[in-house]
Structure 1
Amino acid sequence: MWAMGDTNDGDSLLLADRYRVGARLGRGGMGTVWRAEDELLGRSVAVKQIHLEEGVPAGAARELHRRTLREARTVAQVGHPSILVVHDVVEQDGRPWIVMELVEGESLADRIARGGPVTAHEAARVGVALTRALRAAHARGVLHRDLKPANVLLEEGTGRVVLTDFGIAQVAGMTTISETGAFVGSPEYTAPERMTDDRTGPEADLWSLGVLLCAAVEGETPFHRDSLGGVLHAAQRV
């Protein structure tokens, strides 16, 4: 995934005596993604290091690894062509890493930033692919929870639409509103009910999909505001 990297910060790291980490491809709120080489099977992969706060107790780190493995297994069972394939979950220095397929291309967010809004035809194509992916996931009880253009990849050459980061927020034990009252996630794409209650279902993912498609054809979401409070107010008025 994310075939355009910047630095080679992780070049010397070997995960699980198998995955040689190379260029950093991207960094988000919940993890950093690197390009890597699977030295056992001779293929390129992407690896995601889940962020842990400094000073996390060993027991909490082990629980995070168990949750990561459990969620990866669940997503792997969905087996849909528009859902990123998870190959493995490994541990390095007490931190879980998710090993995934490497999709050569750019994210929908990068496409919009580079070329502006997409055509209605392209948005419809992306929407159909994502709807099918979500339907397959929801049938197995898997929610995405953080659907946004940055988590949609467009494969170079084939045009395949690939949805990434299924359940990562849930794996990390993160809810929409943290214990300190801070918002966690992507507020412009978050359904109003998810802002106040984490016990939501597939309908919240479908809300996010609708907002994503609006952003694809307009260049920004209907709820774009200058402050978090403005975003939350706009979304809750719908």
Structure 2
Amino acid sequence: MSYCLNPHCSHPENTNDVKFCQTCGTKLLLKERYRAIKPIGQGGFGRTFLAVDEDKPSKPPCVIKQFYPQAQGTNTVQKAVELFNQEAIQLDELGQHPQIPSLLAYCNQDDRQYLVQEFIDGLNLYQELQQNGAFNETQIRQLLNDLLPVLHFCHEKQVIHRDIKPENIIRRQSDRKLVIVDFGAAKSATGTALNKTGTSIGSPEYVAPEQMRGKALFASDIYSLGATCINLLTVRSPFDSYDTHNATWIWQQYLKTPVSKELSLIIDKMVESVPSHRYKTVDQVLKDLNYQQSSVPPTLITPLTSQATVVIKTSTQIEKELQEMKTQFTGAKVPPQNVNSQSQSTSNDPIDKELEEMKAKFLGNG
């Protein structure tokens, strides 16, 4: 079947052997090459079609995105135009990565904008969750190890995705690799863009607080990926796993299968509300995720505060302090040579006995 790309066509379905829509006369092939088969998605700013590349003998599947804003207002439409153009630019560069769809074409036809990208055959993680139920720790660790390098690649290219969520992560059927899709909300972080307030974009359940204020950071993608993990582990909206009254995450209460303390700490640090408390780079997350030498990864160990001190006392120091305590209680002065003397261990003085017990506890012998 051929599907007419004219959004106003009353009967868009056509047979494969025609080049123009039999209802409205619109050209059916985009760039004389890409033929839409059926619509697979629609939003406020456009439509998405499953298509085939007629220029190749195998006629491989692809995806046509049509810019078709239905929102009202000049500013809104203008912003939509910018985002659509931006997605094409981002895909042109980021599509070099095997886990990001490649851009096949970007064009105008019949006064409408289009981009054509690689088709990723597989279920997205939202669909997978509905089909198979909650993820376990092993699956989440595999997910993080698979996706964090992809985010690292994006961030190295100075691109913040800004819309990481289960629906935008597809498990490719051919190799079971996870692919990040939908770069329509992606933002360049070059120059002064990081410090400039922009538009709040993304799915609210998964968006970091600073991104809601229009100031997305690389760490904002880390937050969104952490919120995605919470959703996959609990089968609940991240909104429902956060206690707004106490400003704390409570997702562990809704786990379908238990997770280790280490993974729990990692996810908690990924979704810290304050960016300075959150992982700043994906490399830091990967380091903790794959740290094997300790029960707690080094970046998760809370450093000592300026008020805290660690005091290590020798046996002689402890004995001196205990003797000083005895002096304060009895008023008697103990000659220096009696310190650490053998007579203390055989003394019948009740105070001496208590001091000996305290000494044993301090030195770990009690």
Using structure 1 for the length normalisation, give the TM-score.
Answer: 0.75
- Taking the aligned partners of 1:9 and 1:123, their CA distance within structure 2 comes to 42
Aligned to 1:99: 116
Alignment-derived partner of residue 31 in structure 2: 16
Give SS of 2:93's match.
Answer: helix
Alpha-carbon spacing, 1:211–1:54, altered in 2? closer, same or farther (3 Å): closer
Structure 2 match to 1:121: 138
DSSP 3-state at the match of 1:224: helix
Report the CA distance between 1:52 and its aligned residue.
Answer: 1.0
Report the CA distance shift for 1:83/1:120 in structure 2 as closer, same or farther (over 3 A): same
CA separation of 1:126 and 1:9: change in aligned 2, threshold 3 A: farther
Choose from 211, 217, 225 the match for 1:201.
Answer: 217
Q: Which residues of structure 2 form unaligned runs of 5+? A: 1-10, 15-20, 22-27, 189-197, 250-270, 274-366
The answer as to 2:105 corresponding to 1:85 is: no
Give the RMSD, CA atoms, in angstroms: 3.2
1:56 positional shift: 7.4
- What is the aligned counterpart of 1:210 among 222, 226, 247? 226
Higher strand share: 1
Change (3 A) 1:203 1:9: farther
Supply the distance in 2 between the matched residues of 1:83 and 1:201 (Cα, whole angstroms).
20
Highest Rg: 1 or 2? 2
User: Residue 73 of structure 1 aligns with which residue?
Assistant: 89
Tell me: CA distance 1:122–1:51, structure 2 relative to 1, closer, same or farther (3 Å).
farther
Deviation per residue, 1:75-104 (Å, 9 max, x gap): 332321211222111223333222111111
In structure 1, what is the Cα distance between the partners aligned to 2:229 and 2:178?
Answer: 13
Determine the structure 1 residue equivalent to 2:183.
166
Q: 1:150 to 1:204 in 2, by over 3 A?
A: same
Partner of 1:142: 159
Tell me if the contact between 1:146 and 1:169 (Cα under 8 Å) persists in the aligned partners. yes
Structure 1 unaligned runs (5+)? 1-7, 177-183
Aligned length: 212
Residue in structure 2 matched with residue 223 of structure 1 by the alignment: 239
2:159 and 2:187 in contact (8 A); partners too = no
Deviation at 1:118, TM superposition (A): 2.1
CA distance in 2, matches of 1:43, 1:191: 38
Query: Would you say the 8 A contact 2:160–2:186 is kept in 1?
Result: no
Q: Does 1:175 align with 2:191?
A: no
d(CA) in 2 for partners of 1:191 and 1:96? Answer: 31
Structure 1 letter corresponding to 2:90: T
User: Deviation string for 1:132-181 (max 9, x for gaps)?
Assistant: 1111011111111111111111112421211001243669xx922xxxxx
Matches of residues 51-66 of structure 1 in structure 2 within 5 Å? 51-53=68-70, 64=81
Instruction: Kindly indicate whether structure 1 or structure 2 has the higher relative contact order, using CA contacts under 8 Å at least 6 residues apart.
Output: 1
Shift of 1:74: 3.2
